[in-house]
Each structure stands twice: as C-alpha cells, then as structure tokens.
Amino acid sequence: MVKLLKLKPVFKERIWGGTTLRDSFGYDIPSEQTGECWAISAHPNGNSTVENGPFEGKELSWLWDHHRELFGHVTGDRFPLLTKILDAKTDLSVQVHPNDSYAKENENGELGKTECWYIIDCKEDAEMIFGHHARTKEELVKMINSGNWNDLLRRIRIKPGDFFYVPSGTIHALCEGTLVLETQQSSDTTYRVYDYDRVDQNGEKRELHLSKAMEVTTVPDEVGQNNHHTSKHDSTIITTYVEEEFFSVYKWEVSDSFTYKKTTPFLLCSVIEGQGQVKADGETLQVNKGDHFITTANADSMIIEGSVEIIVSHP
C-alpha cells in the first residue's frame, strides 16, 4: 500500500531560461538556458518518474492509468495537474491560454490551461504582465494589431511570497529575474501574443498566434487581488491561496511537527525551503528543498517533521 511517491522532474531548455534551477535547488540541469522544471507531471511532453518504493521507475501517467486506487479512484482520462518551477532569466513572451472547451475543439482534445504562480524569488523591482487595459474586444484587437503594447498590457510589481491566480483567458507574462512555482491544469497549449520583436541566432522571430489569442482573451479582464488567508496549527502556518474549480493551493510552513489528516484523495507537494521527514503510516521519506512528492489515497494521515516550506495542491 504505497503512501508516498517521490518524483523525478523533467527539465526543459528555454531561450529565456538560466541556471537558477541548479544554483538554487541543486538540480542537474541540461544547459545554461534551462527554463522549466516539470516537477509533478503526467503530461506526455514531460512525464515525471517515481523515485522510491515498488513503483520506482514508473511514469506518473502509467500510475494514473493502472493504479487509480492511489488517487482515490477519481475519474478523468488524465492526471489533472502539473507542477512546474520556472526560471525566467529574461522576459517570457506575452501569452494567453484557452479554456477547456476551446482547447478540446481546437487543440486535439488538450485541456485548457488555468494556472497560478507562487513567487519563490525575484530580483528587486521585478515585474510581471498580468491582464490588460482594453475595455472591449474591438479595442483589444485594435491595440494588438497596431502594436500598442504599452497601453494594452498591465504591468505590476512583484516580490517573493506573492501569489497570482491566472485563469484561462488572462494575458500574462513572467518578466526577467523571477523564480516561480506554477500549479496548472495538465496542458501545454499557449498562444503567443507578443515576443518583444526578439529574433533568434538565425534572425527568426518566434511564431505568434494572434487570431486564437484574440478569440480566447477575456475582455474586459477579470484579474484581481488574490485574497489569501493564513491559519496557525500549533507552530505550523498554513496559507490558503486559492480554492477554485481546477485546483486548490496552499503553503505549509512547518517549523517543528505538523499532522495532516486526509481531506482529499491525494496531494501534490513541492518542498521549496528547508528539510524534514514525512511519515505516513509506517513509510518515511526524507525531503529536502527541491523535492517533490505525492501523498496517495492510501495515506490517511501524515506527519511532517523538521523546518520546511511546502507548496501543496490538489484538484
């Protein structure tokens, strides 16, 4: 009865990536331009592998297909979530994602992509593009077609510890000098709106997807303040960031010992600081900053000991 699944991430080189995933987490990254760590993923474009126990070496998508009891027999043709860590050394392109129904129809049955970001770290005065200022679809189309990016895009200041909920249809971009933990629907569908007119070594610009982007963008946008709240359980601080249709996301700051009693079939857990031990009915997992694990439906409770910060999510 497997209770804890430790997962081995998949890394992605990106033109905007750097070396922070190695410098900050000690990951063995493939190059000096590594942008993404797909930490807990069953997406075919980057499937995590189990690192412990009887399922060692198996991919997460295989477990979902063949051992649904680990996930409480929840329904669904694919593992619903994807956890990433992103190192934006330079600006990412400005983009927008479709919702489920649009993606299903136009992207070969892919899921839509609602996502959210926890800012692990960023440079001083770091920014993010989050939403836009167009009041009507006509205004949006006009501003995009005339390249009026300064007036269109909403820029905001960010700092470590901030959290942003990014529903599908929201124009957004991470900007240079940010390290982010992203929880998202398991999807790889992105429509690029603006790429700062950058060219690669061959003088080529990356493809834009303007007509799809204009179709799926929410106008006027609905981005707002994220109303998170915190609660204390003995010495553990629990921050609830979002409890929405596709996922709930929390931060657990454990400074001594914390007992979790199961309230949902399974949890995705990413250790972003510190180290400790996770114990679940006789199974023990040593966890350090940069480790990612799932608690399965077999674990009725778990105890976390140590000094450790974990971003926790579930569908």
Residue 122, both tokens: 């960023």
**Catalytic annotation present for 192:** yes
Residue 292, both tokens: 């990612």
Cα–Cα nearest to 113, from 101, 100, 124: 100
The residues with which 41 forms a beta bridge, in sequence order, are none
Residue 308: helix, strand or coil by DSSP? strand
Catalytic hit among 68, 78, 157, 192: 192
- Distances in whole angstroms, Cα of residue 37 to Cα of each of 13, 177, 199, 249, 297: 9, 16, 24, 18, 25
Residues 216 and 132: beta-carbon distance below 8 Å: no
d(CA 85, CA 9): 10
Active-site residue list: 192
